[in-house]
Chain A
Amino acid sequence: MTYFAVVDCDNCYVSCERVFRPDLKDKPVVVLSNNDGCLVARSNEAKKMGIKAGTPYFKLAQQFPGQDIAVFSSNYELYGDLTGRVMTILGQESPEYFRYSIDEAFVILKGMETVDLKAWGENLYKTIRQWVGIPVSIGIAPTKTLAKMASHFAKHHAGYRHCCMIDTDEKRVKALKLFPIDEVWGIGRRFTAKLKGLGIYTAYDFASRSPEWINATFNKVVVTRTWKELNGVDSVPNEEAAKKKSICVSRSFPGMISDPGLLKTYVSNYAARCSEKLRRQNTVASVVGVFLNTNFFRDDLDQYSNFGEVTLLTPSNSSIVIVKKALECLDKIYKPGYLYKKAGVIVISIQGSDSIQTNLLDFDPERYEKMKNLDKIVDRLNKVEGSETVIIGTQQFPRKAGSEKATQFADAIKREFKSPNYTTRWSDIIKLR
């Protein structure tokens, strides 16, 4: 039987910050979202203090006055580099793996039938811990859903030495009984309410129902699949788990914005980022969506939020196309008279760029090639000469009075507590006394 492993970086962003700040080892540490909005990562010490996920930063000092909490703005350049190193090690230590998110990967342990997998996992933990400095939790089981569950146990119980393996039916049943249904991989939040209504609280309550009951009650392929996986039958295709189905770039604005011109500038930048990400993973998207909302924390102001999307006739990853479509969406949903706090661009229905289904009415091969070359050159210039060397006109922020150069997108984000880019900029490498 082929086993699957889930490798998950513990409190990823916090762990990345701690690599270069060993003094914060046992201290409460939190990392803020873009523009220092709210908490996106907490150390175990912070969790123990009762600091909740998603707490707005301005409330932290009110709720925990006088407490010594280390606060960082998010430094994705650093997190991207360090987690990339973790993935490289995974590639060397495993037959096949795919990255599932920034801090998480699945490993397919095929051809390792004779290997002591528990020892393999414990050893992998040690290697990553020493080489990169980040702690990971590893779950091993016959299905991806059970492996995810096992990684939870590895994370929360020191006795597993960072690696929990479900390899007997006895262990599987024991794990299912201890596991809340809402934490099962693939069970959505909305779905949990329905399950609890039916008296299903643990993964065991769900998995021990008959397949007929599951089909009759839910009649949904994904639900049946999760049920099978919990019962030890591999049912989630690798390709499906590997593929990123959407890319979203969204930020809170540094202040509140009513000016439609400035909104366009932000949305253009988010859209350009999305298309860069698509190109980096050699994919194209066929739906572009934009959302926009006011400040929910300000009860005293009028509230509005909306989402709009357009479908592309030919899937694309061209900056010019994605930005143009995103601005069309913005036009559809923008309403004057509100103070906006956040916007985001999401590209959906992503596929490989090598096999694009073209639309005859829309597709012009010569123009397509030209755009592709243009993006390639722009990407290269922005890589060599620094990001935002070449941008689309609508990405340009207005020049501040008295300033020679226009503000760049990277500088338009508020990052008051950002750590140095220890691994990606020579100016920021650690100092050795």
Chain B
Amino acid sequence: MNDISIINSLFEEEQDLQIASGLKAGFPSPAEEYLQDSLDFNRDMIKHPESTFYGRVCGDSMIEAGINDGDIAVIDKSREPHNGSIVVAFINKEFTIKYLDLTHKADGYIELRPANQMYKPIRIDEGDDFEVWGVVVYTIKQWN
């Protein structure tokens, strides 16, 4: 019986928070009326789970924006992209993460700007096969 492995069960989906409305014997807990749910990243940061997707950053084209190879980008397709938004775009049969530059929209073209001096901006003219797939709302980096 040496091999015991601990299995992390999903108990939280079954359990109700019963401490708040439980037994009333003795003094009521002064903390009871302040009872709040713990912070929850998924609940609080992901506004629209239905429109949220994830992507893995490959390469160093956004390194000066603090986005590195291996980071996870949290992409929300429900957001409208604006000038200066970090977006995921689809061009030349691949997804790319860049700044969206709409400065020259009136002149008939827009640009995808990298955050790395080694790379050139990608110019997109009207009629080019291109789409902004979603807006990057967070990047997640693992340090340890």
Q: A: which residues have CB within 8 A of B?
A: 22-23, 85-86, 88-89, 127, 130-133, 380-381, 383-385, 422-423, 426, 429-433
Chain B residues closer than 8 Å to A89, beta-carbon distance: 50
Q: Tell me the number of A-to-B contacts counted with CB atoms below 8 Å.
A: 70
A132 touching B77 by the CB < 8 A rule?
yes
Q: Which of A22, A88, A383, A433 has the most chain B CB atoms closer than 10 A to its own CB?
A: A433
Chain A residues closer than 8 Å to B61, beta-carbon distance: 433
- CB of A378, distance to nearest CB on chain B (Å): 12
Given contacts A384-B7, A423-B54, 7 further A-B contacts (CB under 8 A): A23-B90, A130-B78, A131-B77, A383-B10, A426-B54, A433-B59, A433-B96
Docked complex Cα distance between A133 and B95 (Å)? 15
Residue B88 lies at the interface, judged by CB distance under 8 Å to chain A: yes
Docked complex Cα distance between A239 and B97 (Å)? 46
B55 touching A429 by the CB < 8 A rule?
yes
Partner of A422 from B50, B53, B72 at Cβ < 8 Å: B53
Given contacts A22-B133, A23-B90, A131-B48, contact A431 B56 (CB under 8 A): yes
Residue B21 lies at the interface, judged by CB distance under 8 Å to chain A: no
Partner of A384 from B8, B57, B133 at Cβ < 8 Å: B8
B77 touching A430 by the CB < 8 A rule?
no
B7 touching A432 by the CB < 8 A rule?
no
Chain B residues closer than 8 Å to A426, beta-carbon distance: 54
Q: B: which residues have CB within 8 A of A?
A: 7-10, 48-51, 53-59, 61, 72-73, 77-78, 88, 90, 93-97, 131, 133
A429 touching B72 by the CB < 8 A rule?
yes
Q: Which B residue sits closest to A85, measured CB to CB? A: B50
A130 touching B7 by the CB < 8 A rule?
no
Partner of A131 from B51, B57, B95 at Cβ < 8 Å: B51
The SS class assigned to the A binding surface is helix
Q: Which A residue sits closest to B57, measured CB to CB? A: A432
A430 touching B55 by the CB < 8 A rule?
yes
Chain B residues closer than 8 Å to A23, beta-carbon distance: 90, 93
B90 touching A22 by the CB < 8 A rule?
yes
A381 touching B95 by the CB < 8 A rule?
no
Chain A residues closer than 8 Å to B49, beta-carbon distance: 85, 88
Q: Which of A86, A426, A429 has the most chain B CB atoms closer than 10 A to its own CB?
A: A429
A433 touching B50 by the CB < 8 A rule?
no
Q: Which B residue sits closest to A128, measured CB to CB? A: B50
Provide 16 A-B residue pairs closer than 8 Å at the C-beta atoms, listed in order of the A residue: A22-B90, A22-B131, A131-B77, A132-B51, A132-B77, A133-B77, A384-B8, A429-B53, A429-B56, A430-B95, A431-B56, A431-B94, A432-B58, A432-B96, A433-B61, A433-B94
- CB of A183, distance to nearest CB on chain B (Å): 31
Partner of A431 from B7, B48, B58 at Cβ < 8 Å: B58
- CB of A410, distance to nearest CB on chain B (Å): 20
Partner of A380 from B10, B72, B96 at Cβ < 8 Å: B10
